[in-house]
Amino acid sequence: MHRNLALELIGRLTLEVAPVSRPAVLAASTPPAAKRGSGDPLDSRPRGRRYLSTYQLLVAVAAGALAATVAHAQQRAANSVPEIPGLPQAARTAAASIDAEKIRAHVRFLSLDLLEGRGPGTRGGELAAEYIATQFALAGVEPAGDNGTYFQRVPLVAVHTVEDKTKFSFVPAQGEPINLVYGAEIVSKDQTGQPAADIDAPIVFVGYGIHAPEYNWDDYAGADGKEIDLKGKIALVIVNEPPSNDEKFFKGQALTYYGRWTYKYEEAARRGAIGVLIVHRTDLASYGWEVVRNSQAVEKSYLQGDPSATLRASAWIQHDVAQRLFTLAGLGDLDQAIDRAGKAGAFHAVELPVKLRAHIESRVRRYVSSNVVGRVAGVSSANQAVIYTAHYDHLGIDPDAKGDNIYNGAADNGTGCGILLELARAFAQSSVRPTHAVYFAAVTAEEQGLLGSQFLGMHPPIPAGHFTLDLNYDMLLPIGIPRSVNLDGAERIDFWPTVKRVAKAFDLALLPDPDPSAGHYYRSDHFSLARAGIPAFSVDQGELFERRTPEWGRAQSEDYVAHHYHQPSDEYRPDWDFRGNAKLARFGFVLGWLASAQPKLVEWRSGDEFEPARKASHSASPQ
């Protein structure tokens, strides 16, 4: 049945491919294996108007199944899966079948120029979703989306700021205004999805923009102790959260949700603000201004009907621009103000003698993207399941960029998708079934703010209270075989002892997050499911790799973030080593199998921030 569905989906993939504007400079930056004239049947560079035959697309969608086998003998040692109590031999065999070269083939296809950066709601995004659904069908994975399909429809509204028609300025009560350069100094989106907005509103500095009663912290209190009025005004906030080494105060060095930009937008909107200016500083954000600029240069989507999306200007400003604003307002040194704002009792919200004046024009489109959801049935019919997730979207095409303007997203998150597809195939083709059902969800619009996984958490294929565990894969650099993993959040659930035991068996050291202040836990799709109560964490490699020093591993990560993360240069490379992706896929396979075999659901530890949501999910869906 599923193979027939695969052929139907392949038919849907036969489409006219219109030319994509792709400058000559790309030829120099494209890997040799994909150069024009190389004989590559999947070469996606434009050659005038052309059509993809069904044969060509069959080759593409079956790439995983047709991956080269010459590397198998060399990988035999890496393919081994250790003996682990509770893991049957047939499951070990299924896990060992996970193939690095199949993952490579998926990553390569998903990051082709043909898919145009996999922007949600675009032709390339739809092609990626069809490819993933077809791979599910070929593997024998059952549909688990809407109406017996693999697709869960996610209604979205996309907003693209028209840069040359959008103007921002700081207007003081006395003196000349300061005009800002869009892109270089400020970026913004209108969350309401209106085509135009005009703003002339006071700016209120609210420190980190946090109201956290459990830490006795309120950035919205003025000098008189009363909550400052934000209605119709602009909140100026610092990225991140107050620094701490105390685990009982904002969890020490680990970023909490209060430090995420999404929280700052949500909290200010709840208080009636019409806009937010987030002050960017690289050391606090853990990424440079180019990441912000590139992320905002393309469309930003919102869930249709989201009551929290009310800001007319959800904006970021450069650190140096914020300093000019402080000088204009007579507030002195910005960095000193940031230091004061991070100390208890040293800060009070204050309205500046400066207004933000802006005219914002947006191109708006309402559309539907899709999560791609599949299922492998378990032996038991009990309402309990494991779910694996990975986002398949990326940033699409920046129509205003010069030169290479396609954000291919090979590492982010072609790698996670390749792993997800191999996990689905291994479970579906295992000679024995897991104890309970296993779901696989390739989610959309992660780069837009975890929207696809947010929708999945709000509308799960089975009640959220029946899911025992979510394992997420996001951006695993294919640079060798890891000897360590970062599993931030896994220590917060009662499945942690099993996680430690399996990691040891796989010769994977459990290392703490090397950059806890970056708040990685709140920046990937597992967070959306955790907010729905589901115990969830991402499987990520650490900095230790076979035959490499720890310094080498960290250097690779830093280089990727500095030069490729959210940039058009995140492209597939033929010299990538996918054996590490395969090892972490096998590791996740075993964790999921053992979680499925447990008679009781995995739970958050007592007192965790997600425990109330878990209890609510159980109340809403009793076993």
- The per-residue pLDDT for 43 is 31
Residue range 238-256: average pLDDT? 91
Name the residue among 239, 220, 237 with its Cα closest to residue 228: 220
pLDDT class of 289 with cuts at 50, 70, 90: very high
pLDDT in tens, 68-96: 433 443 344 445 799 999 999 999 999 99
| Contacts with 73 (C-beta within 8 Å, 6 or more apart), sequence order | none
From the CA atom positions of the chain, what is the Rg in Å? 24
Residue range 491-505: average pLDDT? 98
The answer on pLDDT for 602 being more than 60 is: yes
- The per-residue pLDDT for 622 is 66
The answer on pLDDT for 9 being more than 70 is: no
The answer on pLDDT for 62 being more than 50 is: no
Residue range 128-142: average pLDDT? 98
- The per-residue pLDDT for 253 is 85
- The per-residue pLDDT for 254 is 85
Provide the 10 A C-beta neighbour count for residue 144: 25
Candidate from 74-78, 434-438, 544-548 with smallest mean pLDDT: 74-78
Residue range 115-125: average pLDDT? 95
Residue range 308-330: average pLDDT? 96
- The per-residue pLDDT for 255 is 85
- The per-residue pLDDT for 623 is 60
| Contacts with 341 (C-beta within 8 Å, 6 or more apart), sequence order | 207, 208, 219, 238, 242, 347
441 and 393 Cβ atoms separated by less than 8 Å: no
408 and 111 Cβ atoms separated by less than 8 Å: yes
169 and 156 Cβ atoms separated by less than 8 Å: no
What sections of 70-156 are H helices per DSSP? 76-79, 89-96, 100-110, 123-139
How far apart, in whole angstroms, are the C-alpha atoms of residue 31 and residue 621?
51
| Contacts with 611 (C-beta within 8 Å, 6 or more apart), sequence order | 603, 604, 605
- The per-residue pLDDT for 383 is 86
- The per-residue pLDDT for 113 is 97
More confident call, 45 vs 492? 492
pLDDT class of 34 with cuts at 50, 70, 90: very low
Residue range 470-487: average pLDDT? 97
Element (H, E) at 254: none
- The per-residue pLDDT for 295 is 82
Distance of CA 258 to the CA centre of its chain: 18
More confident call, 425 vs 518? 425
The answer on pLDDT for 526 being more than 60 is: yes
pLDDT class of 328 with cuts at 50, 70, 90: very high
pLDDT in tens, 165-217: 999 999 999 999 999 999 999 999 999 999 999 999 999 999 999 999 999 99
Strand-strand pairing, 350-376 and 142-143:
antiparallel
User: Hey, do 2-156+366-488+544-620 and 160-364 end up sharing a CATH topology, with the first three levels equal?
Assistant: no
Question: 3-state DSSP helix/strand/coil percent for the chain, to nearest 5?
Answer: 35, 20, 40
Tell me how long the chain is.
623
Residue range 255-259: average pLDDT? 90
What sections of 330-386 are H helices per DSSP? 334-341
CATH 3.50.30.30 is held by the domain 160-364: yes
- The per-residue pLDDT for 279 is 98
* Domain locations along the chain: 2-156+366-488+544-620, 160-364
Residue range 25-36: average pLDDT? 30
pLDDT in tens, 99-109: 999 999 999 99
Residue range 468-497: average pLDDT? 97
Residue range 302-330: average pLDDT? 95
CATH number of 2-156+366-488+544-620: 3.40.630.10
Q: What is the mean pLDDT of the chain?
A: 88
- The per-residue pLDDT for 155 is 96
Q: Report the percent of the chain where pLDDT is more than 90.
A: 76
